[in-house]
Chains A and B, each alone.
Chain A
Amino acid sequence: MTTLYLTEPGTYVRYRNHTLDIKKEDRHHTCRLSELDLVVVLPGVQLTDGAIAQLLDRGIETLFLRQDGRFRGRLQGHFHSNPSIRLAQYRCVETTFGLALAQKLVSGKIRNQRTLLQQRNRATQGRIGELSEAIDAIASYSSRLQQLATPLTRDELMGIEGICAKNYYQALRHWFPTQWNFSGRNRRPPLDPINALLSWGYGVLLARVFAAAVQAGLDPYLGFFHAIEPYRPNLVLDLMEEFRPVIVDRAAIAIVKAELLDPLDFEPSPDGAGIWLGQTAKKLFLGQLQRQFSSRVLYSPQNRRLTLAQILLEQARSLGRCLCESNLDYEPFLLK
């Protein structure tokens, strides 16, 4: 199955003979609808009413992103959903059980963050002090998070997540050559190219996890760790935690390592305060992200190899099952 990314402003997409007919100036592509399972649309792309109707009727997931990569929305056709999953979800919000789940989700994220730093530490044979210190610091919090018998409060959990994130992003700079000037995480707007990549990637990941959450019958807005902050897809933010390092951070590392990008591929954001990806950088990075989503790894709960995109959906389904059965069997997906 094919994932179609429509990135160029001025692209015109119409429906013709069971196929999407895609035109930009004199360039012309076709994409058979029966082979399509996901469409990601960037601003400036025109879809005709006929094309939208086909995407809706065939249940082809269609995601819209903003210029800065943030999630704008998705097409939602008539869908069959199981209300019992949502009811179970509502019952678990703001309960001890919900907090224990939050603890598992955060634990998954920081364990994957630690693994990513460890890989770098091994490659540099432990010569970088800051790396091994960050790894040890995250390890101590990680073991605390895995003791579910004594659950943490939300404030404690947020504290641990914050400290680990700080340690992690500072140490992550040892993955990137110094000319990229990455020294830690900043956002809204991102101030350097690596942060621009991370922000963009998290936007794409959020859109795809949003789709997975809906497909699994969950309410995207009611979370456990991010809880019930208004105007935010809290459950999506929860579910994507463990995948941030696995998919986005690794894609950023891979694309920099492949020397595919040049600092000139980035441009100042319209308000001049931050840095955005230019058209070429967007296309290259979408390709890299897509290679992450389609890479196959062992999914231990089912003991078979699945793509990371399939694992996103399986993790959302597994969360749904835990909520319905009120058990804490949810296992975060861990990077090997």
Chain B
Amino acid sequence: MTDFWLVCYDVRDDKRRNKLAKLIEQRCQRVQYSVFECPVEGEILCELIERRWLKVLKLSEDSLRAYPLSGTAKKQAKIYGSPPLYEPPDYLIL
């Protein structure tokens, strides 16, 4: 499975949405209000979604989607405006 994913959600309730966003941000980079780019292996992402993220949601009202971005798909992605496609930095000197 790919190790780069695009995750997005639609959550009605503010409280549930904030809770979910906080969980997703533990492993993924927020690139739009409800869109995240995730440098995470597929198996691990599935575990995270099924064991943690879904617990916050009410699937009768909310939805969550994860799309794999393989190497070529990632390269072909069209991105306008910031931020650029997420890539963990090789190094950070602070």
Q: Write the residues of chain A forming the contact surface with B, with a CB cutoff of 8 angstroms.
A: 1-8, 11, 17-19, 22, 24, 29, 31-32, 34-35, 283, 286-287, 290, 294
Whether the Cβ atoms of A2 and B92 lie closer than 8 Å is: yes
Whether the Cβ atoms of A290 and B90 lie closer than 8 Å is: yes
- When distances are taken between beta carbons in the complex, the residues of chain B under 8 Å from A2 are 88-92
Q: A1, A11, A29, A294 — which one has the most chain B CB atoms within 10 A of its CB?
A: A1
Residue of B nearest to A35 (CB): B88
The contact sample of 18 A-B pairs, CB cut-off 8 A, is: A1-B88, A2-B90, A2-B92, A4-B91, A4-B92, A4-B94, A5-B91, A5-B92, A5-B94, A24-B94, A31-B92, A34-B40, A35-B39, A35-B88, A283-B93, A287-B91, A287-B93, A290-B91
Interface residues of chain A: helix, strand, loop or mixed (majority):
mixed
- When distances are taken between beta carbons in the complex, the residues of chain A under 8 Å from B94 are 4-8, 11, 22, 24, 29
- When distances are taken between beta carbons in the complex, the residues of chain B under 8 Å from A18 are 26-27
Taken together as a complex, chains A and B put the C-alpha atoms of A80 and B22 apart, in Å, by: 33
Inter-chain pairs besides A31-B92, A32-B26, 19 sampled, C-beta below 8 Å: A2-B90, A3-B90, A3-B91, A4-B91, A5-B93, A5-B94, A17-B22, A17-B26, A18-B26, A18-B27, A19-B25, A24-B94, A29-B92, A32-B88, A34-B26, A283-B93, A286-B93, A287-B93, A290-B93
- When distances are taken between beta carbons in the complex, the residues of chain A under 8 Å from B93 are 5, 7, 283, 286-287, 290
Taken together as a complex, chains A and B put the C-alpha atoms of A200 and B91 apart, in Å, by: 18
- When distances are taken between beta carbons in the complex, the residues of chain A under 8 Å from B91 are 2-5, 287, 290, 294
- When distances are taken between beta carbons in the complex, the residues of chain A under 8 Å from B22 are 17
- When distances are taken between beta carbons in the complex, the residues of chain B under 8 Å from A34 are 26-27, 40
> Which B residues from 42 to 94 make CB contacts under 8 A with A?
88-94
**Closest beta carbon of chain B to A282's beta carbon, Å:** 9
Taken together as a complex, chains A and B put the C-alpha atoms of A306 and B27 apart, in Å, by: 26
Q: A17, A24, A32, A283 — which one has the most chain B CB atoms within 10 A of its CB?
A: A32
Taken together as a complex, chains A and B put the C-alpha atoms of A202 and B88 apart, in Å, by: 27
